[in-house]
Amino acid sequence: MTMTDYLEDIEDQTIKDLEGLALTGRNFTQCRFEGCDFSQLRFDGILDSTTFKDCNLSLTSFRDAMLQGVRFETCKLVGVDFTLCNTLGFDIGFSGCLLRSCNFNLMELKKTSYQQCEIIETDFLGSDLSESNFTNSSFSCVNFNNTKLSKARFNGAHGYTINPLNNNVKDATFSLPDAVSLLECMGIKLLL
């Protein structure tokens, strides 16, 4: 092994510039990335207790990466396939983010937070989103099918289309007027 084959782990750092920073083969613990552009870059190590703030993660690859306690704040995530992550200890959360064309199919996402996010053309097919928080988020063309949404919170959320006949919505909370869409899926029309 040469010196260039081994990359030191980075701990407790705030990173605002990626120039010269190798991401592959490297672990980040308690780090904070601010205003960084990760477009089409790849993480394949461990991200532990790490925060991304105001970052562009368009087409970023997390193939085989371990995301444990990772938070995304006001970030842009386009075309990210989270199903390629290592699922051991998988724990993520989003606040004020744009999630477009992301894939969360068949994932264990219990208690995941998607607060105040704009979620567009994103798939949650067969995922377990029990007790997740979608408070004040907006949805457009999001696919919830055979999804566990028990005790999920959609307070103040709008634009979602969730069919309660093929999704588990037991004890989930929704707010008016958007909760009416739950009835529209069953062909029920409300007269006001």
Examine the pLDDT at 5 and tell me if it is beyond 50: no
pLDDT value for 177: 87
Mean pLDDT of 53-57: 98
Spell out the residues 6+ positions from residue 184 whose beta carbon is closer than 8 angstroms to its own.
none
Strands 76-78 and 118-120: unpaired
Split at pLDDT 50, 70, 90, the class of 36 is very high
Q: What pLDDT digit, counting tens, does each position of 99-113 carry?
A: 999 999 999 999 999
Class assignment of domain 3-184?
Answer: mainly beta
Q: Which H helix or E strand runs over 29?
A: strand 28-29
The yes-or-no verdict on residue 4 having pLDDT over 60 is: no
Q: Supply the pTM of this predicted model.
A: 0.91
Mean pLDDT of 143-161: 96
Domain ranges for the chain: 3-184
**What pLDDT is attached to residue 19?**
84
- The per-residue pLDDT for 68 is 97
Average pLDDT in the 55-66 region? 96
